[in-house]
Chains A and B, each alone.
Chain A
Amino acid sequence: METIQNKAAADTSEITSEMALVQAAKKGDLEAFSQLVQLYDRNVFRIAQHITHNEEDAQDVVQEAFLKAYTNLDQFQGNSKFYTWLVRIAVNEALMKLRKRRTGKTVSLDDDVETEEGAMPREVADWSPNPEQIYGQTELGDILKKTIQGLPPGFRTVFVLRDVEGLSTEETAETLGLSVPAVKSRLLRARLQLRERLGKFFNSRKGGDGKQ
């Protein structure tokens, strides 16, 4: 069984080997950089898809983000994790793509965050015991995608980094250039809005007459 100490040791060695790869890549070692790409390409793709909602754009973001990271590696100081630094580049690239798709409309992480929607729960009915099992895998995936796509970019980006990709609150704040309280407030509202919207699908009274 894995102990906490073992886990900590594994984390440390992961960071050490990541730093070694970054150092080698800084000197132009493309094999080392290729290993960094393989470590994080799936995460970058997922984050880009969540922000852009477009597979072609997400592919471009993966390419541009890694290319930018490679050409600017000398600016990476090592004060943060390489991954956090990379995600910051990727989020900016993804937001740029989103802006291009919505020509004439500016898109930033601050869009729609002033809305009061989701601040207070309206629906407090309980969910079915195993809500995911009501639907097949594909249908569930579609529901989850549609639901998260309905959130403003500033909310869904915070939720994806913090709750899906597992960055800490501090790392999320650093990555997005937000304060820790701003991340917490957006995270709360993102979580509550998603909960409210998913309730329509997972409500234990689903299919009933809507009365308790």
Chain B
Amino acid sequence: MSSTSLSVLADLRRAWQHGDRLYRSLLAAAGLSTIALILGIGVQLWQNSALARHAFGWRFLVTSYWDPALTDTFGALPFILGTLVTSCIALLAAIPLGVGAAIFLAELAPDWISQPLGFLVELLAAVPSVVYGLWGLFVFIPVFVRPTSEVLNRSLGFLPFFQGPVFGPSRLAAGLLLAIMVFPTITAISRDVLRAIPNSQREAALAIGATRWEMIYQVLIPYGTSGLLGAIILGLGRALGETIAVTMVIGNNLDLSASLLHPGYTMASIIANEFTEATFDLYLHALIEIGLILFVMTLVINLVARLLIWRVSRRTTLQVRA
């Protein structure tokens, strides 16, 4: 090897910073893959729903015909409403319980209680969705949802929301099961948000004679509002996209009544139920368009929630991430 070629090699190594340039571009490429994944999902779902988008346009969002058998007409309204209704039930039940539990874990319980309890909450998040569905179908519905539904129907049956007949699998069952499934999300993040609030806030409130509850309600909750809101919205995001457990307990029925006690459908559950049965392209594209709507909804919701939570964690030294 001549000396010139050696120096060329050395130049090359220097130019490549002894492999670091390659290393850095590899890292950046891996980092890009996350962003590419989000874009890729958007593009693929957009392209593969083209037939349905062209055939029905914006009407897809506001019509409620779903008829793959005779007229090939598709409208997503019942599924969008079903998703919103079940998620609302879930949040109504999960917000007071989840935030209350977070207050207990962060403010009231001594370490030897809050640590194992917090651990259990994290395990709850790890239970697979299909196991929730199994338990919901064979235990939760017969033992809790059915009796509750009958009481609601008897006492409030004059309202359209609680009209009979009472089925086991219903929107109410799905909503309540979703509430259980979003507990860990809301509880764990709210707890971290509360813990990130500086102690000076607590001391100031207690020093002017507030009771502990007054300190929590009038000082901590207003201080942590954006973080708590982020936790709740993140819980909403999970409820919207939850599929298999909901499919197992909602009864999967194109019921257009307002009754929560009737079986229904959500966006995720119609996809799970009919995707493999979509026999022609328009049908498949209509289902993929529902997936696209779901994707956009969860994307927006997650963006908002993350921004809210990030605002909290930037203000304090403590890391709050979900």
Indicate, yes or no, whether A interacts with B: no
> Which residues of B does A touch, CB under 8 Å?
none
> Which residues of A does B touch, CB under 8 Å?
none
